[in-house]
């Protein structure tokens, strides 16, 4: 299957990848993993035309697959590649996080918290507000995603971003 992906037009490729996001069969998992690897190849070669569609599929992948391995790692790496190629992609990711209903965000923020730690200083700073907003809106603080976000914020605090974290928390508590 991997050998035919490069020959598939982007729109059709995105359709296959979007269809494989939530499948649990071995075939769908193979399509998902090979599709994520092909997506990374296309990102590296700057051949992605519709970056917003790629981001939408990756957000859905993060939402559905959460911490599944290797899907989670491939999704984080794909997000990272997109943001390194185009600064506007990070804003699209942030907008995609805000568009999700609160209950759905758990696995998204599990992935997002791992992504933020890989980004440059300015993007890390931009990522603080959504992370804090996620924690403030939680009813239960014993979820795995809450722990990941909490650990991410602690790490960001160690990277001289503690003032930004306090500022975001202050705004959230108002």
Q: Give the Cα separation of 167 and 174 in Å (integer).
A: 11
pLDDT of 172: 63
> Domains (ranges, CATH) in the chain?
2-173 (1.25.40)
Q: How many angstroms separate the CA atoms of 29 and 25, rounded?
A: 6
Q: How confident is the model over 143-164, as pLDDT tens digits?
A: 777 888 889 999 999 998 888 8
The 3-class SS string of 5-25 reads HHHCCHHHHHHHHHHHCCCCC
Asked if 110 contacts 144 with a C-beta cutoff of 8 angstroms, the reply is yes
**Over the stretch 19-40, which tens digit does the pLDDT of each residue have?**
888 877 888 888 889 889 999 9
| Spatial separation of the C-alpha atoms in residues 114 and 80, rounded to whole Å | 10
- The fraction of the chain above a pLDDT of 90, given in percent, is 38
User: What residues contact 27, with CB distance under 8 A and at least 6 apart?
Assistant: none
């Amino acid at each position: 299957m991997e050998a035919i992906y490069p020959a598939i037009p982007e729109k059709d490729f995105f359709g296959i990848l979007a269809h494989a996001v939530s499948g649990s069969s071995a075939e769908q998992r193979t399509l998902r993993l090979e599709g994520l690897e092909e997506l990374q190849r296309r990102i590296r070669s700057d051949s992605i035309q519709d970056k917003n569609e790629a981001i939408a599929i990756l957000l859905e992948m993060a939402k559905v697959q959460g911490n599944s391995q290797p899907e989670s790692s491939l999704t984080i790496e794909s997000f990272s590649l997109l943001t390194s190629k185009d600064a506007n992609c990070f804003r699209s990711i942030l907008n995609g996080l805000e568009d999700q209903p609160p209950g759905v965000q758990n696995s998204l923020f599990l992935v997002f918290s791992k992504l933020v730690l890989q980004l440059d200083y300015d993007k890390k700073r931009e990522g603080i507000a959504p992370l804090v907003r996620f924690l403030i809106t939680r009813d239960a603080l014993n979820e795995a995603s809450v722990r990941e976000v909490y650990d991410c914020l602690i790490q960001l605090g160690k990277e001289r971003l503690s003032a930004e974290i306090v500022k975001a928390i202050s705004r959230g508590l108002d």
